[in-house]
Structure 1
Amino acid sequence: MRCAIVHYHELALKGRNRDYFEQRLVRNIQFALQGLGITRVENLRSRIRVILPPEADGAVVSERLARVCGIANFSLARAVPLNLAEPNLEELNAAIIEELRLKSFSTFRVTAKRADKRLPLTSMDVERMVGAAVHERTGKPVSLKDPDLTIYIELLSKDVYFSADKIQGPGGMPVGVSGTIACLISGGIDSPVAAYRMIKRGCRAVFVHFSGRPLVSRASEDKVRELVQTLSAYLYDTRLYVIPFGEIQREIVLRTPAPFRVVLYRRMMLRIAEALARKEQCWGLVTGDSLGQVASQTPENLSVVEEAAGLPILRPLIGMDKLEITDEAKRIGTYETSIEPDQDCCKLFTPPHPSTRTRLEELLNVERALDIPRLVQQGLDKAELSDITFPA
């Protein structure tokens, strides 16, 4: 029998709520694997077993499981029956040696875990017996410190599972256990990473993108849809609001001093995003701010921008530098899309010398020139909604 054995770490610490978190993880695995003919995902307590039908593509299964938040690691394994009363490892040894015929390696080690302590053989007994059999049949030496190949064995109540690969998952918490947040997303590198870091903590995400349309093309919108589609592999289904923001920006430019434009843009974005977030029953707003990275992200300007919102502002990248953010973008698959050129609305009408230490009292006085409720409603009235699912 082919299967995937899934392990998690953080969920095991949840005490009385553990069952809820495990059930959510099982449900998310079912969502991630839909369309592959997989019907059995079983919670075995401390691990999850996914029964793979003969037609299931192991590479596709691995690719999808590697994006399920809450999974610490998993392996594509084969099962051999196990008799608790009279454990006999001959069938296991034969199956492992048959599997290793397709592998190229010079040294190996065996790592066993015994989930059922009623088994008279200890984990070390199994490691020694299987290791001896593999060495005898292949002639390959054992290396406990730096082997070319590790054989993983898990002994459960009725079956023993073995594999020669262990694949890392994202870790974190299952999506859906931490409520819903609204993520402001541009076409750049930072905001998709910020959204991912909150998704990994169990949040469902709704996305809000501010486009420079009608003053620029839809290039940034196309990029953002592609980025959200990539992130949907972690979410399974989500929503994207696109706000044509160019006319609102033009009115801000006509009515306010140039140094304050960038801060005023961002305050207006937060107000519109908050209205959409409340509609979607979100408990917070997420931005890709990193402290001091650009003029709008100085401590003073971050504080002034945040004052415009009533919901909590979450900044998961605030202490990260650009290299760290870029590395994570590459790992989650958003980097190549993010670096494609586009026409970002934040670059429209950008003053040559923006204010970097804006005082709230001064800015509130400047904002009196704007009809803020009307501009917010204008953004909401023109919002365009898309539902995005995975698989596409």
Structure 2
Amino acid sequence: MVVYDTVLVRYGELSTKGKNRNIFIRKLLDNIKSSLKDLEKLEYRYTRDRIYIKINGEDPKEIEERLKNVFGISSFSFTCKINSDIEEIKKITLELVKNLETSTFKVITKRQDKTFELNSDNVNRATAGNRLANTNHKVDVHNPNIRINIEIQKENTYITSNKIEGAKGYPTGVNGKVLLLLSGGIDSPLAAYYIMKRGIEVEAVHFASPPYTSKQSFDKVVELARIVSKYQGKMKIHVVNFTDLQMEIYARCDESYAITIMRRMMYRIAEKLALKRNCLAIATGENVGQVASQTLESLAVINEVIKMPVIRPLITFDKIDIINMSRMIGTYETSILPYEDCCTIFTPKNPVTKPKSTKAVYYEKNIDYDTLIDNSIENIETVLVLPNEVKDEYL
């Protein structure tokens, strides 16, 4: 019986990174080890093209489920590691499939060891011929039911009949860090996913307005962060008490401009915190035209109060695509729980959709917002969220 004893991990976009390739591979290996850290029997090695994980009796299904969430992996396979000998290669490829019902197949050989006695085409012919002679299977090079992949290296050969798609993208953490404005809605957790996929680490800032926002509302945000944290191993949520600033806005500004000014204050706080946390940009789940504060006119007026770049990965998505993707990553059902955040609780009846910068500045003159912003930042509480654990921290 053939035993799959090694996981062969293939890289994604890392092949395009030139001189930085080795840095990216090492980061990917670190992320894989972090994802599998409690599986203590695993052994790792890497080359320019592959990472190899020796299973040593650990649960293959557990390994598979975790590797699917590691960005930077193009695909991976559970393989049988054998000596680079043509007779053993023929034997193992036959054993892999001999108990299957009538099927079509294709053999694909990659010969990294150019000193091996046969070239790739001849290995394909030898293994396929052996299978044809000993089974009722047939060759189909265009649309086979089974693909046998053989990778021949100097000392060992890896054989597999499975290929599992990875999460693609870049290893999280190789492209810097951003601060994400995280709410309890559908959009911002999905934005976190797409940002992480580009190799960017995500920290989050959440604006709470107690007692108007409930503990359930905050717990919902923590759960959303926990779900997406599996893609980078952990996530910090910096919780801003926004109540005093929000009450000042609604007491001293025209109601129609309240959302615009509230978002401008959030951006100011986020930028100050991002600089403090060594983040290179701010990120949001904003989507053009979805709500009053997300028209182009609104985004322009809101954005002008900061200098830091703002990343908006969902800016042109259709809502149905956002919903479908949030279902795929597992955040949708939590996002639709009926606990309101600080934006939804204080939404005015008729928010302005094409605000003017001059008016926003005029209303803000009625607020001592610099002091309120500084107080908010000084009293931030931080929560460290892991895929299976939540810890309180303080800046």
Q: Distance in 1 between matches of 2:38 and 2:214?
A: 36
Q: Distance in 2 between matches of 1:224 and 1:124?
A: 55
Q: Distance in 2 between matches of 1:105 and 1:196?
A: 42
Does the 8 Å contact 2:71/2:168 carry over to 1?
Answer: yes
Matched, 1:5 2:2: no
Tell me the residue number matched to 1:44.
Answer: 47
Out of 137, 154, 161, which is 1:157 matched to? 154
SS in 1 for 2:53: strand
- Counterpart of 2:36, as a letter, is L
Note the 1:27-176 alignment, pairs <5 A: 27-54=30-57, 56-82=58-84, 87-88=85-86, 90-100=87-97, 106-176=103-173
Q: Which runs of 4+ in 1 moved over 4 A?
A: 101-105
Percent identical residues: 37
- Counterpart of 2:195, as a letter, is M
Does the 8 Å contact 1:212/1:343 carry over to 2?
Answer: no
Does the 8 Å contact 2:177/2:279 carry over to 1?
Answer: yes
- Counterpart of 1:163, as a letter, is T
TM-score by length of 2: 0.92
Tell me the residue number matched to 1:24.
Answer: 27
Matched, 1:289 2:292: no
| CA apart distance, 1:237 | 2.4
Aligned residue pairs total: 386
Q: Distance in 2 between matches of 1:78 and 1:352?
A: 64
- Counterpart of 2:148, as a letter, is I
**CA distances 1:66-87 after superposition (whole Å, capped 9, x unpaired):** 11111111111111111xxxx4
**CA distances 1:190-232 after superposition (whole Å, capped 9, x unpaired):** 1111111111111111111112321121222112111111222
Q: Distance in 2 between matches of 1:156 and 1:116?
A: 5
Does the 8 Å contact 2:22/2:48 carry over to 1?
Answer: no
Out of 312, 316, 319, which is 1:322 matched to? 319
**CA distances 1:2-30 after superposition (whole Å, capped 9, x unpaired):** 11111113212222221111111111111
SS in 2 for 1:199: helix
| CA apart distance, 1:238 | 2.3
Does the 8 Å contact 1:295/1:355 carry over to 2?
Answer: yes
Tell me the residue number matched to 2:343.
Answer: 346
Does the 8 Å contact 1:178/1:203 carry over to 2?
Answer: yes
- Counterpart of 1:265, as a letter, is M
Matched, 1:197 2:194: yes
SS in 2 for 1:72: strand
Does the 8 Å contact 1:221/1:242 carry over to 2?
Answer: no
In structure 2, relative to structure 1, the CA distance for the partners of 1:330 and 1:177 (3 Å cut) is same
TM-score by length of 1: 0.93
Q: Distance in 2 between matches of 1:388 and 1:103?
A: 45
Q: Distance in 2 between matches of 1:172 and 1:354?
A: 38
**CA distances 1:265-301 after superposition (whole Å, capped 9, x unpaired):** 1111112222221221111100001111111111110
Moved more, 372-381 or 344-353: 372-381
**CA distances 1:115-143 after superposition (whole Å, capped 9, x unpaired):** 22222322222222222223333312222
Does the 8 Å contact 1:236/1:391 carry over to 2?
Answer: no
In structure 2, relative to structure 1, the CA distance for the partners of 1:146 and 1:353 (3 Å cut) is same
